[in-house]
Amino acid sequence: LAGTVGRGAGGRLVMAEGADVSREADLLARVPDGLLVGGRWRAASDGATFPVHDPSDGSVVKQVASATVEDGRAALDAAVDAFSAWSRTPARERAEVLRRSFDLVVEHADDLALLMTVEMGKPLAESRAEVTYGAEFLRWFAEEAAHVQGRYGANPQGTGRMVVTQHPVGPCYLITPWNFPLAMATRKIAPALAAGCTVVVKPASLTPLTTLLVAQLLLDAGVPAGVVNVVTTTRTGPVSEAVIGDPRLRKLSFTGSTPVGRQLLAQAAGGVLRTSMELGGNAPFVVFDDADLGTAVDGAIAAKFRNIGQACTAANRFLVHRSLADEFARRVTERVAAFRTGRGTQEGVTIGPLIDDRAVAKVEELVDDAVSRGARLLTGGSRVERPGSFYAATVLADVPPDAALLREEIFGPVLAIVPFDDEDEAVRLANDTEYGLVSYVFTESLARGQRMVERLETGMTGLNVGVVSDAAAPFGGWKLSGLGREGGAEGIHEYLQTKYTLTADP
Ligand code: NAD
């Protein structure tokens, strides 16, 4: 680990940047670095590995195995072999395993949070919040496992009895992104296991470590060999194509960008696979003149700067009624100017690094484009001159309609304000995107709030709140934001298939 090393409290080695070097080294040494196949950790078949970086300074923190196509197939073999026993394991037993997994993840919250901050960059407090959120999927689906039910009744003609039952779809391939390394994994693994499915997980190669540690905790909790397999790899395309193209696979669940989601849907068409797609977003955040401004500003800070703006649910366009656009801009700018930038492990840091230099370059390009078209820069607006992938928290006002960042996901700490004059215009601007994941509305009028909820073309809406994610709720988007729902009572049905049986009139 790079940095200026000194002695901290208790004589332990501490980096100037807030890293407890000996604690991090000890934790990193305990994280598995292999592929999990059939309950065993092992190297890639050709011995290849790839480095995982700390985005706060670019240093390599660990090498992990890089799966070959052959390894991907071996992981699927293991999932196929384990399916028959796991799918017939009583739901209550599957629930107990998931509940023990929840307990272990909570017990190891400090380790998981630190690991996430080291490989992904978000401030430690946010990593802790993600552990709480991500663990909740294990508890929620432990409870749901025992509640899957069918239906029995006479058919309308009175000539027979209809029985409707639910069955696990089979072995699943789960692909997760780097921005929420823990929650995106548990949000897929928990409902799959609850339904009786077995899985091959492919975490993002930028952030594999948290998923690897979670997988070890699942084994410790009693998940049988082969039920959860993990393939880390930089040979993502070929490995995924082989797994998705294998006729034994029955389901693909993907969270990531819309372009990759489209490609995977095309591949999944070959096997007519069940698919769940959690894709990109371009969330509008609408503030009306009858909003409570303090509530709206708090909501804006949460909706924009959580995860350093790298969330599919991040508010991308702040549509603010013209009468309070200036005051809103002044208040958010005051808050943003007080943010502290640094390594996420450092006390008081609110803005960590972006995931890599490519991400910084993209944010830089989008901000420069908006400013060149006439947007007013109120704070930030440039890279932070220091090692690592940092971009300053930024506020832009009067963003013109042709700015690229109104159409594309910014995926960075940039709050872009567009004024509007009336409700119809707000609706038109909010819906003027190919995405439809989430929207946020701030108003004190119940009638207006209800009208907006009905008129906004998004799978989720936050009414006077800036964060909507909840394990108990159906998370998912409309339009190009995806297919299917994760969490809630709906989440388990992504991993179940229906059978109808007609029995003769008794
Ligand atoms: P990405 O699409 O680049 O990668 C996501 C995952 O897909 C990674 O594991 C990556 O290794 C893998 N992948 C990349 N190319 C692949 C290919 N050709 N075949 C198979 N797998 C491939 O996305 P990202 O940059 O990791 O994540 C950011 C994106 O994810 C944003 O668009 C964000 O909105 C979206 N996201 C959506 C949700 C949601 O729930 N809707 C949640 C988090 C992130």
Given pLDDT bands bounded at 50, 70 and 90, which one contains residue 506? confident
User: What are the backbone dihedrals phi and psi of residue 62, each rounded to the nearest 5 degrees, phi first?
Assistant: -170, 155
* Mean pLDDT computed over 461-473: 98
pLDDT (mean) for 72-93:
98
31-57 b/e (C-beta count within 10 Å ≥ 16 → b): bbbbbbbbeebeebeeebbbebbbbbb
Query: What is the arithmetic mean of pLDDT over 96-109?
Result: 98
pTM of the prediction?
Answer: 0.96
Query: 94 is written with which tokens?
Result: 């599957």
Decide: 431 in ligand 1 pocket, CB within 6 A.
no
pLDDT of res. 18: 64
Which of 260, 276, 485 to mutate to test ligand 1, by most ligand atoms within 8 A of the CB atom?
260
**Gap between the Cα atoms of 81 and 482, Å rounded:** 31
Ligand 1 near 298 CB (within 6 A): no
Please state, in angstroms and rounded to a whole number, the distance separating the CA atoms of residues 172 and 188.
10
| Residue 372 CB partners (closer than 8 Å, separation 6+) | none
State the average pLDDT over residues 485-494. 98
Ligand 1 atom at minimum distance from 259 CA = 2
Question: What are the backbone angles phi and psi of residue 459, rounded to the nearest 5°?
Answer: -70, -20
User: What is the predicted pLDDT for the residue at 16?
Assistant: 47
For the chain, the C-alpha Rg in angstroms (whole number) is 24
| Residues 190-238 pLDDT 10s | 999 999 999 999 999 999 999 999 999 999 999 999 999 999 999 999 9
Q: What pLDDT is attached to residue 3?
A: 39
Q: Does 257 contact ligand 1 (Cβ within 6 A)?
A: yes
- Give the pLDDT of residue 209: 98
**From CA 213, how far away is CA 219, in angstroms rounded?**
10
Distance in Å, CA 175 to ligand 1 centroid: 8
Report the pLDDT value the prediction gives residue 505, as an integer from 0 to 100: 87
Residues serving a catalytic function are: 278
What residue has token string 């609408």? 286
Mean pLDDT of 430-446: 98
Positive or negative, the CA dihedral 404, 466, 176, 144 is negative
Give percent above pLDDT 70 in the chain: 96
CA distance 318 to 325: 10
Parallel/antiparallel/unpaired status of strands 394-397 and 414-420: parallel
Query: Does the pLDDT of residue 13 top 50, yes or no?
Result: no
ipTM above 0.90, yes or no: yes
DSSP conformational letter for 405: G
Residue 279 Cβ inside 6 Å of ligand 1? The answer reads yes
Q: Nearest-5° angle of CA 166, CA 170, CA 174?
A: 115
Find the mean pLDDT for residues 463-490: 98
Pure H helices in 58-208: 69-88, 91-107, 109-120, 124-145, 183-195
Q: Is the pLDDT assigned to residue 19 strictly greater than 90?
A: no
Beta-sheet pairing, 283-287 with 438-442: parallel
Q: Rounded distance, CA 371 to CA 396, Å?
A: 8
pLDDT, tens digit, 9 for 90 and up, residues 309-351: 999 999 999 999 999 999 999 999 999 999 999 999 999 999 9
Q: What is the spatial distance between Cα 263 and Cα 260, in angstroms, rounded to a whole number?
A: 5
**pLDDT score, position 1:** 33
Q: How far apart are CA 214 and CA 182, in angstroms?
A: 8
Structure tokens at 62: 């660990």
Given a cut of 60, whether residue 494 has pLDDT beyond it is yes
Spatial CB neighbours of 463, under 8 Å, sequence gap ≥ 6 = 441, 443, 449, 452, 453
Angle 165-166-168 (CA atoms, 0-180°, nearest 5)? Answer: 150
86: left (phi over 0), alpha (psi -120 to 50) or beta: alpha
The pLDDT tens digits of the residues spanning 134-149 come to 999 999 999 999 999 9
Ligand 1 atom closest to residue 281's alpha carbon, by position in its atom list? 34
* Most ligand 1 atoms within 8 A of CB, residue of 120, 130, 174, 175 to mutate: 175
Instruction: Kindly tell me if the per-residue pLDDT of 355 is higher than 80.
Output: yes
Half-sphere exposure in the Cβ direction for 273 (13 Å, CA): 30
Q: For the range 262-269, what are the long-range contacts, defined as Cβ-Cβ under 8 Å and sequence gap of 24 or more?
A: 264/175, 264/240, 267/240, 267/241, 268/244
